[in-house]
Amino acid sequence: MRNELDNIERIENYLTGQLSEVETKAFEAEMNTNAELKEQVESQRNLMEGIARAALVKDAQRAHKKYKLGKSGLNWGLGGFAVLAVAAAAWFFSTQMDSQLSDNLRYSKNEIGTGQFADADRFIPSQVFAVDGGKDTVIQTDGGITMTILANTFLDEDGNPVKGNVDLEVKEALDPLSIMKGGLTTMSNDRLLESGGMFYVNGRQDKKSLRINPEQGIYTQVPTDKEQPNMQLFDGKRMADGSINWENPKPLETFLTPVEITTLDFYPPNYLDELGNRGQDKNDKRFTDSLYYSYADMFNEARPEQGGVAIVVEDVEVSDESLLGQMDTTATEWSLPTDRDETRTELVYGINPASIKTIWNEKYNNTNLATTEFEERLAHIHNTCDQWILDYYVNNLDKRLSALDSAVAQRRNSSSGVEYLMGDNISAEQPADKFWEFARRGDGRVETNNQYAEFLKGYYHRQAKMEAEAIQLVRKEYDADNQKKIQKANEVRNNHSAKEAVRSSENWQEEFQTNLKDAYRQLGYPEPIVQRGVRTNNTVVTTPGWKNVDQYVAESVTKRETLDYTDKDGNRAVIKYEPISLEVTNSAEFDRVLVYMLPNNLYSFQRMTQNGNAYSEKLNELYEYNVMCIGFKGEESFIHHIKKAKPKDYGTVKLKRIGKMELEKLLYGVKDYSVQRNLKEDLAYQKFDIKEQKRVEKRMKLKQLRNEMHAVVFPCSPQMFYSNTEEASIQIQYFE
């Protein structure tokens, strides 16, 4: 999987010229011996060229308030006059020009090869644009008409694409005055039209008229101050008297205006708001994407018996012959399949986030998906929890949205077993469904090259699968890494616990021997024999009676209480343990605060007991102590140092930041090497433990967040929760 992703990056770098000369030669050599890589390069090249071509259309769509004519408008075999018009509600003034004919005729023959010209040919000046027939070009006339001419739009008389220079001649009359000056009328036979503008277009090479490729047409936008419903495109027919009769009306195709796709919201409804309500930064797209896409790992692991919903789906395609404002009666009807061998069964929680990740990027700019109209539909697609619907819109990028809406609504009704009749209009009695409402609106499509749309269809299926597999791989790697970190943490903690036991025992024995020696001295006994490395039998005295003095000393050390012992001869030994206390007022600011007592002549440090912000312990009068209060916050350390601490209440202390080098210097100042070594080891362990604890807490919070957000991402799926056992991977369980 990673090799495939790396290949995609290498191919893009190659096609965009980002490889070095050496890398380019090596890559091309690899292509010569690897047919699969060569095919991938060609596929990626086609995709990138499609994106660039679609960008031309997007540029043309930026003009304000334009009537948009796709290839269904300007796709006649030859050029000629056209008018945008609707039937007039009132008389529209027109007149015949009597002035002398002008010299605006550039050629002796018109676009169909005859010498017949209308008055408009003579009165309206030509605008000529030099166009390369083999390149995509956008032109704009003086009146604001924008035309997008794709490569190979012009054909010769044999139907072959024309290369090289093409003279594109355009005449325009977009306002009443220009129309009158051009000697134009707005009559279609006996019917009066209200014009939205008239224009003439024709391409020539070497003064010879060319045909317009009907498969591409010229994407044309005509400016207007007021958009009229039901506007149609009429062809102009030259009449013997010099006028033009407007005939062969065709409905205008309504094209959608795309936006930058990454500015749209493709998340499930309320996803960002719900994250915000849970204290998350909903503006951190890296995090919101990561969390949402992580749910894709469920689609390869779920089973029907675990609470998923198994459904049967069937691919459907829709005809492109539907009319605006009507239900798409030409759509292929969807019906519940009876032969399961011809269908596929899927376990559905909702919309697979891997599919959203595939389409929510710049490769789908300038398609139906990069529109606010599709964004609105996608919110409802999420709520249907039906992956088929999303796939259907993505796989039919060359179709009008309203046609797709109609087919989706049919499918939803059929799948629910509801009977209804199709007609020219949608009956109010038909089942209420948001997709019927969308169909009524008659939304069109984004002008997209059919070949490009077909290419994206294949890309979608390949890339969605790769994204899903990549997410699965990342999840598995994440879980494996987590297990390694847990194992390491357990090893470190077990090792630390073992060392702590040894350290505490050594400390106890040393303090016991020191106290015993001093007690013997006070009682006038001979100095006891010190047995280094030999464990003693420790006990707590709870009954009166004769006891060995060693037991009283042991009890005093264990309980850290003052020894006051008198033997049978009246000899007395006293060793005082007196309290020391302090309070760290800003302890809540830190990840952890520890207070160390560093005695002279002991094996290791001792820790003060914590109770909230307060720390306390008892000092043995036979030792001299330094006290270090150390706090950790992130990578920083903070300290309060008490030299030659006395048994008293030090009140409140505030920790101050200390640099790494300064802290090292302070630790090196501890005179007893064993105390210094043990203190450094413990500080290193504390930092590790804090970091690991934070990692675990973060992971558990993310698990909890995933649990809480599950119903938002998959509104139709069973409620679920994740195990709080950190040692396990994310465990999925279902409520009955």
Crossing angle of helices 549-559 and 450-523, rounded to 10°? 150
What is the residue extent of each domain of the chain? 2-58, 63-251, 261-448, 476-575, 577-688, 691-734
Whole-angstrom Cα distance, residue 606 to residue 620? 12
Higher pLDDT, 86 or 382: 382
Model confidence over 326-357: pLDDT tens digits? 333 333 333 323 333 334 444 446 899 999 99
Check residue 352 and give its pLDDT.
93
Whole-angstrom Cα distance, residue 125 to residue 142? 11
Model confidence over 34-82: pLDDT tens digits? 888 888 888 777 666 655 554 554 554 444 344 445 444 444 445 666 6
Token readout for 34 is 């690897």
Check residue 389 and give its pLDDT.
93
Mean pLDDT is lowest, of 140-144, 220-224, 496-500, for: 220-224
Check residue 166 and give its pLDDT.
93
Higher pLDDT, 387 or 423: 387
Average pLDDT over residues 82-91: 48
Check residue 350 and give its pLDDT.
86
Cβ atoms of 715 and 707 closer than 8 Å: no
Residue 323 pLDDT exceeds 80 = no
Model confidence over 710-735: pLDDT tens digits? 999 998 876 544 444 333 333 333 22
Check residue 229 and give its pLDDT.
58
What single-letter amino acid sits at 686?
Answer: Q
Q: Domain 577-688 adopts which CATH fold? A: Immunoglobulin-like (2.60.40)
From the list 683, 722, 688, the residue with the least C-alpha distance to 705 is: 722
**H/E stretch holding 45:** helix 35-60
pLDDT > 70 in the chain, percent: 76
How does 417-450 read in b/e, with b if 16+ C-beta sit within 10 Å? eeeeeeeeebeeebeebbbbebbbebbbbbbbbe
Provide the mean pLDDT of the chain: 79
Residue 372 pLDDT exceeds 60 = yes
Check residue 349 and give its pLDDT.
65
Check residue 193 and give its pLDDT.
76
CA 128 to each of CA 84, 106, 165, 236, 632: distance values in angstroms, whole numbers, following the listed order:
22, 10, 12, 20, 76
How does 324-353 read in b/e, with b if 16+ C-beta sit within 10 Å? bbbbbeebeebeeeeeeeeeeeebbbbbbb
The 3 state secondary structure assigned to 175-212 is: CHHHHHHCCCCCEECCEEEEEEEEEEEEEEECCEECEE
Higher pLDDT, 373 or 85: 373
Q: Is residue 429 very low, low, confident or very high in pLDDT (cuts 50, 70, 90)?
A: very low
Q: Is residue 546 very low, low, confident or very high in pLDDT (cuts 50, 70, 90)?
A: very low
pLDDT > 90 in the chain, percent: 42
DSSP-derived letter for residue 213 is: -
Q: Is residue 1 very low, low, confident or very high in pLDDT (cuts 50, 70, 90)?
A: very low
